[in-house]
């Protein structure tokens, strides 16, 4: 079984912790035994055993990461399904004024309760499974690739590309929210996905051209 890490750029792939690679290989060695109990659940797998399981990828990721065992996090039975980032590009109609794009300034934190980096032009996207940042932003956050977990992201066309995911925090309206940020290794968009939006009340006031968190 080819490792997910092998799909990353070489300079990033070689920074993936060897324990994560071992946990990935160990998972595949016993995967068929886990199917009856854990099918369609997210699990964190480390040192030959399931250390956490649940329906929420963000919750499982944060709990698994806290173990310090560089766990392999996966949805059992759906291992090859990418996290969907629903990005569609439309050609401009030069004879029609363009529609406003909802954006926000959002603070991302690599550690809970510790001030991080405020990024502008973050698009709250209810069509995106997860949050997405370009690699340059993750470097600003000083996220250690050694703590990352390789995976796949895909768009509406169904194509998948390699990514690396990190359990971090988003600070909105005075509160920290768990976030599983995926790295966009080719683009520059900043997307706040449902991993965070589903934990907030968000009001899109189109006429006023503003986004309100927790109105």
Look at residues 17, 45, 80 and tell me which one is the last residue of a structural domain.
80
To the nearest whole percent, how much of the chain has pLDDT over 70? 92
Q: What is the pLDDT at residue 98?
A: 56
Q: What is the pLDDT at residue 92?
A: 32
Same domain? 132 vs 201 = yes
> Which strand (E) or helix (H) includes residue 35?
helix 18-38
Same domain? 198 vs 131 = yes
The number of CA neighbours under 13 Å toward the Cβ of 34 is 26
Same domain? 136 vs 174 = yes
Write the CATH number for 195.
2.40.70.10
> Which strand (E) or helix (H) includes residue 29?
helix 18-38
**Residues of the domain holding 169:** 104-213
Same domain? 201 vs 110 = yes
Q: Within a domain: residue 184?
A: yes
Contact 107, 118 (CB under 8 A): yes
Q: What is the pLDDT at residue 89?
A: 41
Same domain? 190 vs 122 = yes
To the nearest whole percent, how much of the chain has pLDDT over 90? 63
Same domain? 142 vs 45 = no
pLDDT by residue (tens digit) across 110-135? 999 999 999 988 988 888 999 999 99
Q: Within a domain: residue 90?
A: no
Q: What is the mean pLDDT of the chain?
A: 88
Domain count for the chain, please give it: 2
pLDDT by residue (tens digit) across 173-212? 889 999 999 999 888 889 999 999 999 988 888 777 788 8
Please state the pTM of the whole predicted model: 0.78
Alpha-carbon separation of residue 177 from 3, 15, 67, 196 (angstroms): 30, 27, 19, 7
Q: Within a domain: residue 131?
A: yes
- For residue 99, pLDDT over 90 is answered with no
Same domain? 119 vs 72 = no
For the ranges 56-60, 85-89, 155-159, the lowest mean pLDDT is seen at: 85-89
Same domain? 207 vs 119 = yes
Same domain? 129 vs 69 = no
């Amino acid at each position: 079984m080819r490792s997910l890490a092998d799909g990353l750029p070489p300079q990033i792939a070689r920074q993936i912790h060897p324990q994560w690679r071992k946990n990935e290989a160990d998972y595949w060695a016993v995967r068929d035994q886990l199917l009856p109990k854990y099918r369609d659940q997210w699990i964190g797998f480390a040192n030959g055993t399931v250390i956490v399981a649940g329906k929420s990828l963000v919750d499982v990721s944060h709990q698994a990461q806290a173990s310090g065992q560089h766990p392999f996090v996966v949805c059992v039975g759906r291992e090859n399904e990418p996290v969907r980032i629903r990005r569609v590009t439309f050609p401009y109609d030069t004879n029609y004024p363009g529609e406003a794009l909802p954006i926000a300034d959002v603070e991302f934190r690599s550690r809970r309760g510790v001030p991080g980096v405020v990024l502008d032009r973050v698009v709250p996207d209810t069509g995106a499974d997860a949050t997405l940042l370009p690699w340059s932003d993750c470097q600003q956050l000083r996220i250690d690739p050694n703590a990352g977990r390789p995976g796949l992201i895909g768009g509406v066309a169904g194509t998948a590309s390699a990514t690396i995911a990190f359990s971090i925090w988003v600070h909105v309206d005075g509160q920290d929210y768990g976030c599983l940020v995926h790295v966009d290794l080719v683009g520059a968009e900043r997307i706040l996905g449902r991993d965070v939006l589903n934990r907030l009340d968000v009001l899109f006031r189109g006429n006023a051209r503003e986004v309100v968190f927790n109105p």
